[in-house]
């Protein structure tokens, strides 16, 4: 039986850990308490004596191939980039939400629609706590969901936050979890996350383990990688883009890092020039478009102010259709460009193939390199 020790040797030491928090999530939610995360989000032993060596932390890691087949079957994954039932371009119908959003506010629009119609009791999102800092949280009101709108350029460790919130109102998850959720009214959750986080969730679902029994919708974000905005990185970006951070209104990523300034100007920096900021593990991730989600979202392939959306499951497609029919989202007008959906699909496929090939190339290089511990 493989344990957390093996996870450290095979994933952390080579620098492949994505800090998705999946291993910590299960251990915390089930109240084992053996694992925790350090200040950098890296999984560590919180109390080694509490580890029962169940091996689940190892199996659900997105970098371990155990349960890959089962997770793929669960979501009906297929080539070239997961199941794609429909691709469209939309935006939130509420102009106030759009004003806060990065692209078209589609994620927030769907979360608000699900909440307003009683389909969810809350959502795992992230909120801004500083200029370059966001934290994960369980939003349980309409206002909290709306306030989370906006782009962040870093990973959220969102699943670890979820397990803490989950165990707060369900201290004995396996036996008392269903009863506690009915009393609290927080038993139906929508999860918004990156491809690595979502793959871990799907693996947990194949084992029918907490806290995924409360997750009803899984929304994925297109991901070129997670980046660090440290002091040195910010200074280098200013030189690359010829701007000052005091001028910045918001940041976004499509095929470039888009720095939106207060005067309306945009500084576009090619992603290829940002490797100095990218987390080492992200070089080995082959999922660009959140292929295991119910619905995937991103700005690529859409005009400014709009979001490209991929429905991947019948649940996701129904959610999108209902939000459209109820006026929560607006669909891009086909008369402006009859080929908007097919063109967006092609762009997503191209970016997915590019990321998959890069990941494969990096893995070949890693296999020829002696294992070293990477801090990133």
Res. 135: pLDDT tops 90: no
Strongest mean pLDDT among 26-40, 44-58, 170-184, 238-252: 44-58
Residue 95 lies in a domain: yes
108 in any annotated domain = yes
What mean pLDDT comes out for the span 280-285? Answer: 91
| Higher pLDDT pick, 189 / 352 | 352
Which residue is listed with tokens 């002696």? 370
Task: Output the pLDDT for position 160.
Answer: 53
If one counts every other C-beta atom within 10 angstroms of the C-beta of residue 29, the result is 27
pLDDT for residue 30: 72
Could you give the CA distance from residue 264 to residue 309 in angstroms, rounded to a whole number? Answer: 26
233 lies in some domain: no
Say yes or no to pLDDT of 165 above 70. no
pLDDT at 181 over 50: no
Query: CB of 345 within 8 A of CB of 82?
Result: no
> Residue 42: inside a domain, yes or no?
no
Kindly tell me if the per-residue pLDDT of 336 is higher than 70. Answer: yes
In a domain, 31, yes or no: no
> Is the pLDDT assigned to residue 171 strictly greater than 90?
no
C-alpha 28/C-alpha 108 separation (Å) is: 28
CB of 33 closer than 8 Å to CB of 19: no
Closest by alpha carbon to 132, among 147, 160, 153, 102?
A: 153
Residue 3: CB atoms within 10 Å: 16
Cα–Cα distance measured from residue 360 to residue 290, given in angstroms and rounded to the nearest whole number: 17
Q: What percentage of the chain has pLDDT greater than the value 90?
A: 52
Q: Rounded to the nearest 5°, which phi and psi values hold at 126? A: -130, 150
Tell whether 129 is covered by a domain.
yes
Residue for token digits 């709009």?
Answer: 306
CATH number at residue 117: 3.40.640
Q: Is residue 195 part of a domain?
A: yes
pLDDT at 149: 78
Consecutive H or E run containing 95: helix 95-100
Check if the beta carbon of residue 153 is closer than 8 Å to that of residue 245.
no
Secondary structure of residue 227 in the 3-state scheme: strand
pLDDT of residue 374: 47
Closest by CA to 57, choosing from 90, 32, 24, 81, is 24
Q: Over the chain, what is the mean pLDDT? A: 84
Between CA 193 and CA 125, with CA 209 as vertex, the angle to 5 degrees is 20
Over 50: is that where the pLDDT of 95 sits?
yes
Q: What is the mean pLDDT of residues 224-234?
A: 82
Distances (CA, A) of 35 to 61, 167, 204: 14, 14, 17
3-state SS, residue 153? coil
Each residue of 245-277: b (16+ CB within 10 Å) or e? eeebeebbbbbbbbbbbeeeeebebebeebeeb
% of the chain residues with pLDDT over 70 = 86
Q: For residue range 141-161, what is the model confidence (pLDDT) as tens digits? A: 999 999 887 654 344 444 554
Provide the pLDDT for residue 130: 63
Asked if residue 14 belongs to a domain, the reply is no
Q: What is the residue range of 310's domain?
A: 73-226+278-367
**Residue 266, phi then psi, degrees to nearest 5:** -130, 130
pLDDT above 90: residue 26: no
Provide the angle, in degrees to the nearest 10, between the axes of the packed helices 22-29 and 195-207: 40
In the structure, what pLDDT confidence band is assigned to residue 126 with cuts at 50, 70 and 90? Answer: confident
329-331/86-92 β-pairing: antiparallel
- Per-residue DSSP letter, 252: E
Most confident of 74-83, 162-171, 236-245: 74-83
> How much is the average pLDDT of 190-201?
90
Cα–Cα distance, 42 to 62 (Å, whole number): 14
Residue pointed to by tokens 């997670």: 226
pLDDT value, residue 324: 97
CA–CA gap between residue 16 and residue 371 (Å, rounded): 11
Max avg pLDDT among 218-222, 257-261, 310-314: 310-314
Cβ–Cβ < 8 Å for 139, 107: no
CA distance 262 to 305: 17
Residue 98 contacts by C-beta under 8 Å, 6 or more apart in sequence? 91, 92, 104, 105, 305
Asked whether the bond before 80 is cis by omega within 30 degrees of 0, the reply is yes
**According to the model, what pLDDT value does residue 183 have?**
40
Enumerate long-range contacts of 272-276, CB under 8 Å, 24 or more apart. Answer: 273/240, 274/227, 276/233, 276/236
pLDDT of residue 154: 40
pLDDT score for 42: 85
Query: How many structural domains does the chain have?
Result: 1
Range name among 31-35, 108-112, 282-286, 303-307 with the lowest pLDDT average: 31-35
Identify which has the larger pLDDT, 336 or 39: 336
């Amino acid at each position: 039986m493989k344990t957390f020790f093996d996870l450290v040797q095979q994933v952390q030491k080579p620098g492949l850990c994505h800090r998705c928090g999946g291993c910590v999530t299960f251990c915390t939610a089930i109240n084992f308490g053996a694992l925790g995360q350090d200040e950098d989000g890296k999984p560590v032993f919180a109390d080694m004596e509490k580890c029962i060596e169940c091996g689940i932390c190892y199996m659900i890691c997105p970098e371990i191939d155990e349960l890959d087949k089962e997770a793929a079957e669960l979501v009906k994954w297929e080539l070239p980039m997961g199941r794609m039932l429909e691709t469209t371009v939309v935006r939130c119908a509420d102009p106030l939400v759009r004003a806060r959003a990065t692209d078209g506010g589609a994620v927030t629009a769907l979360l608000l629609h699900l909440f307003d119609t009683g389909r969810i009791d809350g959502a795992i999102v992230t909120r801004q706590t500083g200029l370059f800092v966001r934290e994960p949280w369980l939003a349980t009101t309409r206002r909290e969901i709306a306030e989370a709108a906006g782009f962040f350029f870093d990973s959220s460790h969102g699943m670890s936050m979820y397990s803490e919130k989950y165990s707060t109102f369900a201290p004995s998850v396996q036996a008392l979890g269903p009863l506690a959720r009915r009393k609290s009214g927080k038993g139906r959750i929508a999860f918004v996350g990156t491809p690595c986080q979502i793959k871990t969730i799907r693996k947990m679902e194949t084992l029918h383990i907490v806290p995924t029994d409360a997750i009803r919708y899984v929304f994925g974000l297109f991901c070129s990688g997670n980046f660090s905005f440290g002091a040195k990185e910010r200074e280098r970006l200013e030189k690359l883009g010829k701007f000052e951070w005091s001028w910045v209104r918001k940041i976004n990523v499509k095929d470039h890092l888009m720095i939106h300034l207060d005067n309306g100007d945009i500084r576009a920096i090619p992603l290829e020039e940002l490797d100095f900021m990218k987390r080492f593990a992200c070089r080995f991730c082959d999922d660009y478009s959140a292929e295991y989600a119910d619905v995937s979202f991103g700005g690529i392939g859409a005009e400014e102010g709009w979001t490209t959306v991929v429905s991947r499951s019948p649940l996701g497609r129904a959610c999108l259709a209902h939000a459209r029919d109820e006026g929560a989202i607006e669909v891009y007008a086909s008369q402006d460009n009859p080929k908007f959906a097919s063109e967006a699909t092609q762009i997503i496929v191209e970016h997915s193939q590019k990321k998959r090939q890069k990941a494969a190339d990096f893995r070949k290089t890693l296999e020829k390199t002696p294992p070293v511990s990477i801090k990133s």
